[in-house]
Amino acid sequence: MNYKKIISSRTLRIKIMQALSFLPDSMIIKLQYKIKTGHTLHLKNPVRYTEKLQWYKLNYKNPVLKDCVDKYNVRKYVEDHTLKNILNECYGVFNSPEEIDFGGLPDKFVCKDTLGGGSTSVIVVDKNNVNLAELKNTMQRWVDEPTDKKHPGREWPYDNQKHRIIIEKFLEQDNGDLADFKFFCFNGRVKCFYVRTDYAKSHDSGKMAFFNRNKELLNGVGMDYCNTATEVPELVPEIEQMILYAEKLSEDFPHVRVDFYDVNGRVIFGELTFYNASGYMKFIPDEFDKELGKEFILPRKDEK
């Protein structure tokens, strides 16, 4: 079922899920999983990676996750793991757009919702030509997001958290294409990663190529929300550094995806993602969902 064609507005889909916030998490998650993946969710004996992500949402309640999903607070987590050197430059975090001194910002910068995804960010490449009123309105919508509503995907670390605005340095690559490196880590070890390219103008037009920990191409492996690359991207020399950093940042968790950028030979931290695509992606081939699930060793329900 293509639910996005039935309800094309993302805002409306979120409002519908918020209206159903009174329903138990497990009920909503089972319903979403069926609609979005076409599979029946087995929570008692999950096998697929995507199934285990749903179990993870419901049962793994490590409080550290609440800081790690916040794009500003996660910086301290990275610093505490002695990796301050890989953090992007931050110009500030703000509770309101009215707090921001736009005159003091460089010509290029990136604004993000501290609790948002890819759709809640704005890239400014020339502040002298930006519609400031429109930009402020966009950011105001971010901070006006209610804090007492359940996350649409029932991802509990986002609940009762305050949305803020973080402004960071605009990352530029000399060759024009800033690749995104995403590492799937299980109990502190990288299992695989993918490189995403050509996504700057639209995430939907991006291309991905999967590799195993040994940097060998996983030919034909992909996910339904991104095109599989037809040309294999050349891996940067810093890939070994990224693997080491990913394993250091993931050692505290049963599973997390750790993201980096390579900017002209320098590794820059992106984010920590505990519920990749909220666990509602479809792998290509489908069997890879089960293969990745074998690597995901679930903790006891009371384990943090």
How would you class 29 by CB atoms within 10 Å of its CB: exposed for 0-12, middle for 13-18, buried for 19 or more? buried
**The domain 42-88+172-304: what is its CATH number?**
3.30.470.20
Task: Tell me the residue type at 6.
Answer: I
The per-residue pLDDT string of the chain (304 residues; one tens digit each, 9 = 90 and over) reads 444 544 555 565 566 666 666 688 999 999 999 999 999 999 999 999 999 999 999 999 999 999 999 999 999 999 999 999 999 999 999 999 999 999 999 999 999 999 998 678 999 999 999 999 999 999 999 999 888 778 888 999 999 999 999 999 999 988 778 999 999 999 999 999 999 988 765 556 689 999 999 999 999 999 998 888 888 888 999 999 999 999 999 999 999 999 999 999 999 999 999 999 999 999 999 999 999 999 999 997 766 5
Q: List all residues 6 or more positions away from 78 whose beta carbon is below 8 Å from its beta carbon.
A: 84, 86, 87, 249, 269
How would you class 147 by CB atoms within 10 Å of its CB: exposed for 0-12, middle for 13-18, buried for 19 or more? exposed
- How far is the C-alpha of 159 from the C-alpha of 157, rounded, in Å? 6
Q: What are the start-end ranges of the E strands in the chain?
A: 90-94, 109-113, 121-124, 165-169, 180-186, 189-197, 207-212, 222-223, 227-228, 255-263, 266-273, 283-284
| Segments of the chain assigned to CATH 3.30.470.20 | 42-88+172-304
